[in-house]
A and B are shown apart, each in its own frame.
Chain A
Amino acid sequence: MAGIATKHTLPAPFHEYELDDAFDEMVDSDGAVRPHYRHIYEALRELTGDELRRRQQIADLSFLHQGITFTVYGRDEGTERIFPNDLLPRVLTREEWTRIENGLTQRITALNLFLKDIYHEGKILNDGVVPREIIYSCKHFRRQMRGFYVRKDAYVTVAGTDLIRMPSGEFVVLEDNLRVPSGVSYMLVSREVMKRLFPELFRKCGVQPIEHYSQALLSTLRALTPQASAQSSSEPTIVLLTPGVFNSAYFEHAFLARQMGIELVEGRDLVVHDNFVYMRTTAGLRRVDVIYRRIDDDFIDPLAFRADSSLGVPGLFNAYRAGNVSMANALGTGVADDKAVYAYVPAIIRYYLKEDPVLNNVETYLMSDPLQRRHVLARLQDYVVKAVGESGGYGMLIGPHSTAEQRDEFRRRVEADPRNYIAQPTIRLSRAPCFIDGNVQPRHVDLRPYILFGDKVTVVPGGLTRVALRKGSLVVNSSQGGGSKDTWVLD
């Protein structure tokens, strides 16, 4: 034992950097620092703990002053909290990134073809590749979208796909977020802060830029301008539709609107008249051509969906179907990020593109399948069980960290509604160095790159690396004690 411990002991500030069987982003299995981390490793050895702490304070203050907060639901006052940001960047090589980029491009292309298909002919269902009942029983399937042609066939315009790294070092897809993915503002702001804190390191490493994200998002949205408006010479009016100041991602909505120079609107700012959408301004009503909506399908139009929604715009769906306004993302995209449909994505890629997936899925068991269900329920302590329509780390059971009562509870829930659950083996996410308690320690991380689909596919190099800040924890969601760090893709 003593031999192994000394073998992996690194000098300060890495003296508490313990290795285990998870993939480590900085250190290889022999305990040597990987070449692409060398600059950072050396820079950290030269900086004192006090100096690092000072920079951490600058970073925290900068986040606080910019009001980079998220809202924790279920509390009364002071619901806004700073999103914890770790000081040390996570680094990816150009080769690793190229593979990720190709894989994500392939995946979003196939998923958009899939969405078009299931809302029209349904060939993939007729051919038996994806079971019909999974699609029609999905709570995010929108029958109102049947037969409607989405502008440029861009169903998913903005996607955030969660990747994790297996102990083997391979990146796999954990889940797709195809409805209203958030977090991209943290990526942009933490890059700004990092450039200020580590300018010399930044230059030495040669980091690919991400600052063009807002520009790329704006061009992507502009590509969706409805046909009639696109032919006129005037600039299309694009707006960002937010649920309002009480939404957990309101900071991001305001941030993106400001970055793109578009108006940040709420449902009550929009009116629909004769199937055209207008916003109320002091200069009168102004036609709206494209809506980047950050409101869920259910709440977007009380006439078409949930009647009790006060966030939406009555009549918006009719205007949309009339082709007078475009929305990003399209309605009904949630069917493709249902976790039961997720299990079929590799088959979906092969079906439409006649290619093998570049990025694999995590092995997934469908609880609606009796055999798979029996297998998992007998070994619940080894599996992660997730509700298919949830996100943000809500509604899941992590087998190895669960109590017997929690497992019994989930067993009951799964048996009562098997279609609503899937299970995956517990995966040791890869670990990256983080600045914690005055020294550098490893913590588990994932990676959420953001993909834009308009006239072309754009993936800005990097994304949001989320960190499980509690030691040993595998949960990276901000609502569950996670933080974020900057992600550097080297040139």
Chain B
Amino acid sequence: MLSRVADSLYWMSRYLERAEHAARVINIQLNLMLERGSQSEDLDWARVGRSLGMEGSGDDDWNTESLAQSLLHDASNRSSIVASIVNARENARQVREQISSEMWEQLNRLFHAVRRSSPEVWDARDFLQSIKEGAHLFQGITDSTMTHGEGWQFIQAGRYLERAVAVSTLVGAHFREFHQPAQAGAERVYLEWIGLLRSCTAFEAYCKAYTADVKPERIAEFLVLHPSFPHSIRFSVEALEAAIMEIGREAGSRRAVRVERIAGRLRATLGFGQIDEIMGGGLETYLAELLRQCGQVHSALYQTYISYPIEAALEA
């Protein structure tokens, strides 16, 4: 498979996952803000920016209207939902011959729907809902219409790497903000924790595992270490490693060893992790380390399959 094609499939998938995640987080925030009242709105939006990993979001720069609009509709804001969808489609367009026509049509539909609508922030629920549904539909179409070969594995790798990064960032931002010894306003903080779970579609699954008794340690354990919940970091990383192993098998490159080792180490970090030790050593430190390793996986994937130096490839 051409490196350029692999690159486009990988990014198409990452951008779509990014749009879906952002749509979910913003939707939950809109809900929470209704509970909180309007005095803290500016701060709230600033936190949304941080939990989506947007850089340079000093609190002063933001106010509700401009930040929210920008997160939703500003194509020049690289983190906005619109920009993510546009980028996903642009990548798909480059490899239109490699994906199924059903995939292309669905992504195209989503793109046109997003470009058409530009609602007020407080009316954005339907818009956000359509993004989530559109992304889910695309994922289903992809799985059922595309050969599960090397290209599909790159799509998987992109999706789960993006998800691992997004959830790590979100959980980190949330714990920095709200994980303090119990104090006044516990009710409101309770809502925030539920919001975090909902942002990862995890509330119901969490309740089944731990009942509705919301405790930060348990939430951390669930979102970071749960082996079979699809939005936990561990699950994402295991799926990422599986995709990388498949790619190595399909491409048959001798240089694959390095990226497989790095992905394997990341998987082991989570697979053998203990929540009390993680909390003891500082969850934020731990998540920062995960993010660093995710970055390494990305670089190694690139160096192995996509933008390798000529000399390295000729030796192989």
Contact = CB atoms under 8 A, between A and B. Distances in A.
A266 B4 CA distance: 9
Interface stretch (A280-288, A363-371, A478-486): A280-288
Nearest to A255: B97
Contacts of B6: 282
Contacts of B1: 281-283
A258 B101 CA distance: 15
Interface string B73-102: 000000000000000000001101100010
| Residue from the set B97, B255, B314 with the largest chain A CB neighbour count within 10 Å | B97
B316 interface: yes
B150 interface: yes
Contact of B4 (A65, A67, A269): A269
A67 B96 CA distance: 11
Contacts of A284: 253, 255, 308, 313, 316
B268 interface: no
Contacts of B96: 67, 245, 254
Contact of B94 (A245, A278, A281, A282): A245
B186 interface: no
Interface in B210-264: 247, 250-253, 255
B314 A281 contact: no
Contact of A280 (B2, B94, B252): B2
A282 B314 contact: no
A377 B310 CA distance: 58
A265 B2 contact: yes
Nearest to B315: A284
B31 interface: no
A288 B94 CA distance: 22
A262 to B, nearest CB: 12
B248 to A, nearest CB: 10
Nearest to B3: A280
B121 interface: no
B30 to A, nearest CB: 31
Contacts of B247: 282
Interface string A41-54: 00000000000000
B11 interface: no
A264 B2 CA distance: 9
A300 interface: no
B189 interface: no
Interface size class of A (residues with CB under 8 A): 20 to 34
Nearest to B255: A284
Interface string A234-265: 00000000001100000000100110000111
Contacts of A271: 310
B152 interface: no
A285 B150 contact: no
A282 B313 contact: no
Contacts of A273: 310, 314
Contacts of A244: 94
Contacts of B253: 282-284
Contacts of A266: 4
B306 interface: yes
Interface residues of B, number: 24
Contacts of B306: 280, 282
Contact of B314 (A257, A258, A268, A285): A285
Interface string B120-153: 0000000000000000000000000000001000
Interface string A320-333: 00000000000000
B305 interface: yes
A279 interface: yes
A407 B97 CA distance: 46
Contacts of A67: 96, 101
B9 to A, nearest CB: 11
Given A254-B97, A283-B253, A268 B310 contact: no
Given A254-B97, A273-B310, A280 B4 contact: yes
Contacts of A282: 1-3, 6, 150, 247, 250-251, 253, 305-306
A287 to B, nearest CB: 11
Nearest to B247: A282
A279 B253 CA distance: 15
Given A282-B150, A282-B251, A283-B251, A263 B2 contact: yes
A98 B55 CA distance: 70
A257 B310 CA distance: 26
Nearest to A279: B2
A67 B97 CA distance: 11
Contacts of B308: 280, 284
Contacts of B250: 282
Nearest to B248: A282
Nearest to B310: A273
Interface in A263-304: 263-266, 268-269, 271, 273, 278-285
A263 B2 CA distance: 8
Nearest to A66: B101
A279 B5 CA distance: 12
B285 to A, nearest CB: 35
A111 B255 CA distance: 49
A284 B94 CA distance: 21
Contacts of B94: 244-245
A61 to B, nearest CB: 14
B277 to A, nearest CB: 38
A487 B116 CA distance: 42
6 contacts: A269-B4, A280-B308, A281-B3, A282-B305, A283-B251, A283-B252
Given A282-B247, A282-B250, 10 more contacts: A263-B2, A266-B4, A269-B2, A269-B3, A279-B2, A281-B2, A282-B2, A282-B6, A283-B251, A284-B253
Interface of A: 65, 67, 244-245, 254, 257-258, 263-266, 268-269, 271, 273, 278-285
The 5 closest A-B pairs by CB, nearest first: A280-B3, A282-B305, A285-B313, A283-B251, A282-B251
